[in-house]
Amino acid sequence: MMRLLKFILKFIFVTSTLTFIAGVAALYFEKQNQTVSRVYNELRPNLIQGGGQQCLSAMSTAGIEFVSLGDVRDKNCLIKNAIRIKTLPNTKLSSPLTLNCRTASKLINWLDEIEAKRIDHMGTYNCRKMRGSPIMSEHSFGTAIDIARINEASIKKHWDNGGVEGNYLHRAAKSAYSHFSNVITPDDNALHHDHFHLDNGYRAPHLPKIIHTIINEIVRYFW
């Protein structure tokens, strides 16, 4: 009986100690993750390239109807060289787009490449964090767009249908990799079952990737 009691007490002691250590470790890494996330969120806006006056001039020459907004700042969010696009010469928009000029230029080149006569989008600029992450979304910097439909092809309806529209959407997504840093489709996760997410940032949901992202941003900026 004493042996059993000693075993139970030892078991309780060991499990309690391990639980305590695990709790302390979790709090430590959570704090570290919050610190790195905060640094990333502060660093990211300052490393974005907006394209400058050269980009704005190219937009005007291409016959794009837009309004230059300058640098737009809202709390932790910043759009460098922001523009609000009203109309495009070759693609009809479901509503105006607010993007930084450099990202807008990449978007337009891609739309022309895939012969997009119309797009329905779900938003561009939105000052918020990524879902389920402390990292600010690329939407916060005017470097991202969510697209639900291109021409007659709906991402939600046609992505997996294997028909003409579905094949077109798959070709369009493949083409987007040449213009954007990140292309997220329904194949990537359920959150994007009804749209493409296209952006010119880096996705860093985990601590090691955040550090890797910061290094990449610095290298990309200076080289």
Chain segment 53-98, per-residue pLDDT in tens: 999 999 999 999 999 999 998 877 999 999 999 999 999 999 999 9
Residue 22 domain-assigned (yes or no): no
Mapped onto helix, strand or coil, the DSSP state of residue 144 is: strand
Q: Give the ranges where the chain is alpha helix by DSSP (H).
A: 2-43, 52-61, 101-113, 155-158, 164-176, 207-222
* C-alpha to C-alpha distance for 221 and 213, rounded to whole angstroms: 12
**In this model, does residue 125 exceed pLDDT 60?**
yes
**Average pLDDT of 138-142?**
93
Q: Is residue 11 part of a domain?
A: no
The rounded distance, in Å, linking the Cα atoms of 32 and 172 is 39
The single-letter code of the amino acid at 53 is: Q
Tens digits of residue pLDDT in 193-203:
999 999 988 54
- How many domains are there within the chain? 1
Residue 89 lies in a domain: yes
| Whether pLDDT at 8 is above 80 | no
Residue 182: give the domain boundaries. Answer: 44-222
Q: How confident is the model at residue 4 (pLDDT cuts 50, 70, 90)?
A: low
Mean pLDDT calculated for residue range 117-130? 94
Residue 27 within any structural domain of the chain: no
